[in-house]
Amino acid sequence: MCLSLICCGWMLLFSVFVFGDVAMNHTTTLFVNHGESAKIRCNYSRTDDTEIMTVDLQALNHARMCSYIHLNSWQKQSCKDHIRFIWIPEAEEISFELLNLRIKDTGIYICTVRRTAKPPQVDLGVERVQVIVYPALSLSCVKRPDGSPMILCSVEFYHDSLEQLWIRDGDVLNSSYSNKSFNGSFSQQSYLIIPPQTFNDTIYSCWVNHSSLNKPLVANLSSSVCYETGGVTVTVTVVFVMLTVVLTVFLITPVIRKHYKRARQQSVSHVGVSFTPEPVLHDHLQSEILYSTLGDHHPVLCSPAAVRSFEQ
């Protein structure tokens, strides 16, 4: 009998140790986009003899990020600006919201709910949440020292390797050069030199793959965007040329007109002066006599249209 009780006791202790360790090591994973927020819910078991309770949020292997204590109500002890404490009294739910997440915020967060009175101090719940912020991808136009345009693909990510490719019309291109840096998060920049502007608009794509992604990220950029500055220069040049042509025509036109008028006068002096003879009325027009009724005076005889002739 005693032996069986001892065995049951050891099995109970072993199960508490094993399952407690499993519960402690269980981690929930949250995937969020750059700039979004993540909500970490703190699961715990509240007892009737709890008089004073505390809740702490900290990043793994880091100092405490936010801490609250509950006496008659929740009071803040310390908390970073980008963390919001949430308490729902009806359900007695505790959670923290991480606001405006950056790539460097990727990591494991631990929420610990602890009863501090009545003694002894007891952990009522320990929740581990892994927050993974997806890589941030952006495309922009930059210029080389000689003024020619390039496309810059910037990727910010956290740990692990990153795959990056340039694509144009389905063809994989080689980047001009790239570099990596680390400042709380990894950053990779790749540059692509594009050919001189043509009438055909070309779409360039930056393709990125990372272990945190369900599918690769793709960002597109039109080549015309990178030539907007150059386009302004071309436009100004064209306008200048057009203004020059208009001004030239404006200055030359009076000279041409004056020369043309002088040549015409000389031509008339050789031909002679033209004159208009008296109208000739034909017999079949004699009966069609028209009168003017303008004014209050007596009707005035109107002749049919005269046939003009010129002699040289």
Q: What is the pLDDT along the chain (312 residues), one digit of tens a residue?
A: 444 444 444 444 443 333 343 344 579 999 999 999 999 999 999 888 899 999 999 998 888 999 999 999 999 999 999 999 999 999 999 999 999 999 999 999 999 999 999 899 999 999 999 999 999 999 999 998 888 899 999 999 998 789 999 999 889 998 777 888 988 899 999 999 988 876 678 999 999 999 999 999 999 999 888 887 543 333 333 334 444 545 555 566 665 566 555 655 544 343 333 333 343 333 433 334 343 344 444 444 444 443 333 343
What CATH number labels 136-226?
2.60.40.10
Copy the structure tokens of residue 164: 């990056």
Residues 6+ apart with CB under 8 A from 149: 141, 142, 143, 194, 226, 227, 230
**CATH class of segment(s) 23-133:** mainly beta
The whole-model pTM stands at 0.63
DSSP 263-308: HHHHHHHHH-----PPP---GGGTT--EEE--SSS--EEEPPPP--
The per-residue pLDDT for 212 is: 92
Place of tokens 């080549």: 223
CA distance 21 to 1: 30
CA distance 15 to 171: 59
Domain ranges of the chain: 23-133, 136-226, 240-312
Q: Which amino acid is at 72?
A: N
CA distance 162 to 155: 9
The per-residue pLDDT for 13 is: 41
Can 23-133 and 136-226 be said to share one CATH topology? yes
Beta-sheet pairing, 290-292 with 300-302: antiparallel
Copy the structure tokens of residue 285: 């027009």
